[in-house]
Amino acid sequence: MTASVEQAKTPTPTPIAGKVPVAAPAAGYVGTLIAVLLLGLGAVGLRDGAVAAGWLDGREWTKNAVGWIDGLTFAVWMIPVGVVAIVVGLWWLYAAVRPRRRTAIPVNARSSVWIAPADVARLATAAAESVAGVLDARSSATLRKVTVTARTTTDGGDADVESAIADAVRTATAILADPVKIRIRTRTGDA
């Protein structure tokens, strides 16, 4: 008898919250681009090394490039090119420190459970199709909004059917921790 009383007094542990599902960082794409450019520079370096060793015929591209840059004097085109280089550099810096965007919606649960917007749209479509007078439905969803487009019968007023669809979708999406805005569009169709 005392063991069951002790078990009743022991609090149930709550799970630790998991990580929020987020998109890939923009800096990853920038890093990939820089890596490809560095591979290209490495290939040019290998080619120039082969030319310098006499294994290939031709002129060294790096010597030509350095000679061209060394002989440059001020020109008007350098100002916009410099501004563009600064803007691109600032954008890369921003991409490196920018927080990643969330890709899923939290669900009311004791642990970390997330649902993708596409699955919320499927849930809304199923809820809308369960309403009397709805022939078929399509839905789309974002992190904050669900849009349902339903084809309905001519029985009853559109306002009644729209309100019934909105109630069904609201009930189906009640599992979400963050409520979403629901938008309903109806059109009359043939059975």
| Higher pLDDT pick, 17 / 183 | 183
Q: How confident is the model at residue 79, as a pLDDT? A: 96
Is the domain of 78 the same as that of 134? no
Q: Which helix (H) or strand (E) holds 178?
A: none
Asked whether residue 61 is domain-assigned, the answer is yes
Q: Pick the more confident residue, 15 or 191.
A: 15
Q: Are residues 141 and 177 in the same domain?
A: yes
Is residue 139 within 8 Å of 121, Cβ to Cβ?
yes
131 and 177 belong to one structural domain: yes
Mean pLDDT, the chain, integer: 89
Which of 135, 136, 122 lies closest to 169, judged by CA? 122
Same structural domain, 116 and 61: no
Confidence bin at 160 (pLDDT 50/70/90) = confident
- Residue 163 identity: S
Domain range spanning residue 118?
106-188
Distance CA 153, CA 179 (A): 29
Q: What is the average per-residue pLDDT within 151-179?
A: 86
Which of 5-14, 21-30, 175-184 shows the lowest per-residue confidence on average (mean pLDDT)? 5-14
User: Which range (27-31, 46-50, 131-135, 156-160) has the least confidence?
Assistant: 156-160
- Three-class secondary structure of residue 150 per DSSP: strand
For residues 30 and 76, membership in a common domain is answered with: yes
Both 122 and 157 in one domain: the answer is: yes
Name which of 31-35, 118-122, 164-168 the model is least confident about: 31-35
How many domains is the chain built from?
2
Residue 185 pLDDT class (50, 70, 90 cuts): very high
**15 domain-assigned:** no
Are 47 and 92 found together in one domain? Answer: yes
For residue 111, the domain's CATH number is 3.30.70.1350
164 assigned to some structural domain = yes
| DSSP output for the chain | -HHHHHHHHSPPPPPPP-PPPBPPPHHHHHHHHHHHHHHHHHHHHHHHHHHHTTSS-S--HHHHHHHHHHT----TTHHHHHHHHHHHHHHHHHHHHSPPPB-SEEBSSSS--EE-HHHHHHHHHHHHHTSTTEEEEEEEE-SSEEEEEEEE-SSS-HHHHHHHHHHHHHHHGGGBSS--EEEEEEEE---
Q: Minimal CA–CA distance to 186: which of 160, 154, 147, 151?
A: 151
Interacting residues of 112 by C-beta distance below 8 A, sequence separation 6+: 15, 17, 18, 19, 106
Which of the four pLDDT bands, split at 50, 70 and 90, describes residue 1?
A: low
**Do 169 and 183 meet the contact criterion of CB atoms below 8 Å apart?**
no
pLDDT of 166 higher than 60: yes
pLDDT category of residue 136 using cuts at 50, 70 and 90: very high
Tens-digit pLDDT profile for residues 15-66: 777 788 999 888 888 889 899 999 999 999 999 999 999 999 999 999 999 9
Residue where one domain finishes, among candidates 49, 80, 97: 97
- Average pLDDT value for residue range 150-163: 78
